[in-house]
Amino acid sequence: LRPHHFKVFMNPYVNETHYVVEVMYKKPYKIPYPDPFPVIQTSVYRDLIYLFVRIAERFPKSIPWLIKNLGNAVLPEVNETTTGTHAETFWDAPYLGPAFACSFGVDHADTSKALSVLSKLARDEGPFPGIFGMRFIRRSEATLAFSKFPMTCMIEIDGALWRKSRKLMSVTEFSRRMIEVLQASNIPFTIHWGKNSDWAFPGLVEHMYGENAVTWRKFRSALLSPEMMNVFSNGFLEKTGLSERIEPADGGLIVSL
């Protein structure tokens, strides 16, 4: 069977390399249906997450220790096997507590270099209350696809949302530094459009997509009148510069498609 889902979790603060690999396969339904692992007995109560954040904000140096011990409760055991539906497997997906998620796409050949650069940033300028994960996805032909590389490695940084303090930089500042260190290391990257980042970073979209960013604006300008562009704009498009109209808009561009 080919994996339906493949993900690697890492703690960036440990000296030794430690990975937890999660692989999923589609299987046909059968009777007797196996009982999924007991959710309640293995869950980390949400109140503990809030407590984790409060401690991390006041005592940042405790974050590596907290992540290591919280990871033992959250991440699966080595060689753990379970069968269940998506709803049973991802029972905690509807969690609405304070959280952040950053995700950078890089070419799979740059995975080790990018992971090293971002982990070093987390150790040297952090720490922050989160863990690293990696998943590998195929290329999309969409004009501004974050999976633009032939085989894209999504380096995901997920954790509990924290507040800026004298000891901890803000999420936006941390996001900005991740962009800067990847640029300084000449690692081409994209950012997941639906996750946290410093989206106002100067020239970010052009840096990630080059001429494709101009092409996207051309199509949008040709498809929408100036009045409709205002209707279908929002703060995110304005912040990233994607709301910019390219004049003169080629009315025949859409027809040609």
Radius of gyration of the chain (CA): 21
Report the alpha-carbon angle 152-178-130, nearest 5: 85
Residue 178 one-letter amino acid: M
pLDDT at 202 exceeding the cut of 90: yes
| Banded pLDDT at 140 (limits 50, 70, 90) | very high
pLDDT of 46 higher than 60: no
pLDDT tens, position by position, 147-193: 999 999 999 887 777 777 777 788 889 899 999 999 999 999 999 99
Residue 187: predicted pLDDT: 97
Residue 129 near residue 189, CB atoms below 8 Å: no
Ordered DSSP codes for the chain: ---SEEEEEE-TT-SS--EEEEEE------SSPPPPP-HHHHPPPHHHHHHHHHHHHH-GGGHHHHHHHHHHHHSPPTT------HHHHTTTTT--SSEEEEEEEEEGGGHHHHHHHHHHHHHHH---SEEEEEEEEE---STT-S--SSEEEEEEEEEE-----SSS--HHHHHHHHHHHHHHTT---EE-TTS---TTSTTHHHHHHTHHHHHHHHHHHHHS-HHHHHHT--HHHHHHTTTPPPSS--THHHHT-
Residue (of 139, 140, 144, 148) closest to 220 by Cα position: 144
Q: How confident is the model at residue 28 (pLDDT cuts 50, 70, 90)?
A: confident
pTM value is 0.71
Q: Inform me whether the pLDDT recorded for 45 exceeds 70.
A: no
Residue 39 CA to residue 22 CA, distance in Å, equals 17
pLDDT tens-digit profile of 63-82? 565 555 555 555 555 566 67
Cα separation, 76 vs 185, whole angstroms: 33
Mean pLDDT of 228-256: 83
Q: Which of 83-87, 205-209, 230-234, 235-239 has the lowest mean pLDDT?
A: 83-87
**Cα–Cα distance measured from residue 126 to residue 87, given in angstroms and rounded to the nearest whole number:** 34
